[in-house]
Amino acid sequence: MKGPGLFSDIGKKAKDLLSKDYTYDQKLTISTASASGLGLTSTAVKKGGLYSLDVSSVYKYKNTTVDVKVDTESNISTTLTVLDALPCTKLVTSVKLPDYNSGKVELQYFHENATFATVVGTKPSPVIDLSGTVGAQGVAFGAEAGYDTATGKFTKYTAAIGVTKPDYHAAFILADKGDTIKVSGVYHLDEKQKASAVAELTRRLSTNQNTLTVGGLYTVDSQTAVKARLNNNGTLAALLQHELKPKSLLTISGEFDTKALDRPPKFGLALALKP
C-alpha cells in the first residue's frame, strides 16, 4: 500500500527489533499450502506444564483473504480481508466465537501523502478507534484516539512523529493520554543492513519512571541471524535464528537477570516448518 503507512507503523522498526521472535516457550509450527490458494497452519505450544494447539486455514482468492483459526479452548476466530473494496482501501472484519460481541470492522484508506484507519466494534455500544498519518519524503505525523460510545469517554489518545531514511528510523510517541513518552531509533551500520543498532527510552510521567532498552541485530550469513537486548533493569536477552531450509526457521532464545544471577534463566525454542 502506498502512502506514509499506518499510525501503528510509527516506531514499529525499533519495536520489532527489540521484541519480535523472542520466545520463552516450546513452539512447533507446521504450514502447508495448496495450488488452489488454501493454506493450513498447525501450532503446538508448551508453556510451563500446559499444552495448547490451534489450527488455522487461510484461503486467498483474487483480492480477498479468509482466515479461520480454531484452538483447544473451542474458540473460533474468523478474519475477512478485502483489498480495494473501494479505491485505495483495505477492509478487515473479524469475530471470535462464542463471544459474538468481539467482532470488529476496520477500514483503512491509503493516499500518497496520508493514511487513515477506523475500527468499530460490532456490539451495541462499541468502542470506536480512529487514527491518521500524514507525511512525505520519509517524515510522518500521526494521531490516534479511542472513544467509548457506552460511557461517552475517550479510552486513549496518542500522537507520534516518525522519520524513515535509508540508514535509520526514528520515532517520538506521546501515549497513554499524555502520560508516557517513548523515543526510539534504529541505525543500520552498513549499506546492506547486515548489522543494526536500536535504542528505546520510555518515560512514564505519573511515576517518574524511566526504562532504557538497547539492542542489536547481526546477520551472520543468508541463513543465520543473532539478536540481543539489554535494559536498565539488568535483563539481558539473546536470540539465534537459523533458516534450516527456505522458509523453515529454527529460533533459540534466552533471557536472564544480570542483577539476580541466582534466578534460573528462561529459554525458548521455536521451530517453523514450511514446504
Q: What is the structure's pLDDT at 101?
A: 80
Containing 14, the helix (H) or strand (E) segment is helix 12-19
Instruction: Check: CB of residue 146 under 8 Å from CB of residue 155.
Output: yes
Sequence spans of domains, the chain = 7-25+36-213
pLDDT of residue 72: 85
Report the chain (275 residues): mean pLDDT per 10 consecutive residues: 86 95 93 86 89 92 92 90 90 89 91 94 90 94 95 94 95 96 96 94 95 96 95 96 93 93 91 90
From 2.60.110.10, 2.40.160.10, 3.30.1330.60, 3.30.470.10, which CATH number describes the 7-25+36-213 domain? 2.40.160.10
Q: Could you tell me which of 200, 153, 209 has the C-alpha nearest to residue 180?
A: 209
Please measure the distance between the N-terminal and C-terminal CA atoms of the chain and give it in whole angstroms.
28
DSSP string, 87-141: TTEEEEEEEEETEEEEEEEEEEEE-SSEEEEEEEESSSS-EEEEEEEEEETTEEE
pLDDT of residue 61: 87
* pLDDT at residue number 73: 83
- Residue with grid cell 507520534, as numbered in its chain: 160
Given this model, what pLDDT does residue 229 score? 97
| pTM: predicted TM-score of the whole model, two decimal places | 0.88
